[in-house]
Amino acid sequence: MDILISNWSRVRCLPEKYIFPAERRPGNHKVSVSKDIPIIDLERINGPERDQIIQQIIKASQEFGLFQVINHGVSRELMEKTMQMFRQFFESPAEFKARFYSNDLNASCRLYTSTLNYENEEVHYWRDNLTHRCHPLEDHITHWPDDPPYYRKVVAEYSIEVRKFLLMILELICNGMGLESRFFEGELSKNQSLSVNHHIPCPDPSATIGMQAHCDPNLISMLQQGDVCGLQALKDGQWVGVEPLPGAFVVIPGLQLRVISNGKLASATHRVVTDLEKSRTTIGTFLIPSSDVLIQPADCLLGSSAMLYRGYTYEEFFGTFTGNNCEAEMALERFKL
Ligand SMILES: O=C(O)CCC(=O)C(=O)O
Ligand SMILES: [Fe+2]
């Protein structure tokens, strides 16, 4: 059988290699969506309510480590066009997709299934993923798929817009925490990756998982969820569903933000469960520090509290992360003081 699940025709029975041992199954995969997950409305961000909205972002980052954003300035038309195009990409013929298949972490564009460790893992995750870099555009665009024919045009526009959005969220975080303006611009957010997940309908969502529980290793992540449930966040030891709100972006501070804020901002543990009937496509964007930038708690945020992490280069962190089977939180242990 072809290894990309997007190449399969409808499966009636979960293949054995996807059946997780009992202790790693999602348990109650049908948790209801949580009404407590903060929804930040940016419509009035340039008006008198600015400070109030900034405080909502800080509180959401501290208490949940995940929030949704509406009226963020990226057009619905662009969001829908981009989503439609990625769906089309995953539905395109196997021979076409084979051109991009790669398990190499350093490949400029890689399409793979489950994890990069597919060959050696005991059990596979129910997902295909397309990842490539997006910034600076001119360095990466020639490595992107060129089919559908408007792929590069649409993804270029999308990448530029979502980058602006994430830099705006980071700037609001700076304002709210008392960090100097544009603190995160430059080396700390130099790299940008696009990561599109695709899950076909799954015959047994209780026995497998789309993405295991994890924290994002980067500076900050955002997600366009589409309209199918699947993302869950861990809140007070319980899994809660993150509602696919039309037109919203989900924002997840990454572990590097946790370190720079000396633990003041949280990074939610999250996972993806599969759906019995619907296929699910999500568009993730990550801002990632450059390899040689020093990551450490910001001086001005320390106050009288002790430094929780030692400084390290992002390269050092990333090496530890990949050496720890891509368990970001476990990798961070090494840098705790
Ligand atoms: O696809 C999703 O809903 C979540 C994706 C995610 O957590 C990730 O790519 O890190
Ligand atoms: Fe994630």
Q: Which CATH superfamily is domain 5-333 in?
A: B-lactam Antibiotic, Isopenicillin N Synthase; Chain (2.60.120.330)
Structure tokens given for 210: 């789309």
Q: Per-residue pLDDT tens for 296-329?
A: 999 999 988 999 999 999 999 999 998 888 899 9
- Is the pTM higher than 0.90? The answer reads yes
Average pLDDT over residues 103-120: 92
- Cα separation of 154 and 262, whole Å? 38
Cβ(92)–Cβ(147) under 8 Å? yes
Compute the residue count for the chain: 337
Structure tokens given for 162: 């979502």
Ligand 1 proximity of 250 Cβ (cutoff 6 Å): no
Please give the residue that has the higher pLDDT: either 206 or 9.
206
Q: What is the pLDDT of residue 27?
A: 82
Q: What is the pLDDT of residue 229?
A: 95
Ligand with the closest atom to the CA of 268? 2
Cβ(55)–Cβ(45) under 8 Å? no
Q: Is the ipTM of this complex over 0.85?
A: yes
Q: What is the pLDDT of residue 1?
A: 55
Q: Determine the atom of ligand 1 nearest the C-alpha atom of 221.
A: 10
Ligand 1 proximity of 281 Cβ (cutoff 6 Å): no
CA of 315 to the centre of ligand 1 (A): 22
Cβ(199)–Cβ(210) under 8 Å? yes
Ligand 1 proximity of 211 Cβ (cutoff 6 Å): yes
Ligand 1 proximity of 226 Cβ (cutoff 6 Å): no
Q: What is the pLDDT of residue 105?
A: 87
- Cα separation of 253 and 267, whole Å? 5
CA dihedral 20, 272, 63, 251 (to 10 degrees): 150
Ligand 1 proximity of 231 Cβ (cutoff 6 Å): yes
For ligand 1, atom 8: residue with the closest CA: 284
CA dihedral 171, 177, 179, 181 (to 10 degrees): 30
Q: Determine the atom of ligand 1 nearest the C-alpha atom of 282.
A: 1
CA of 180 to the centre of ligand 1 (A): 30
Burial degree of 76 (CB within 10 A; 0-12, 13-18, 19+): exposed
CA dihedral 291, 318, 265, 221 (to 10 degrees): 80
Helix intervals (H) in 6-115: 50-63, 76-91, 94-98
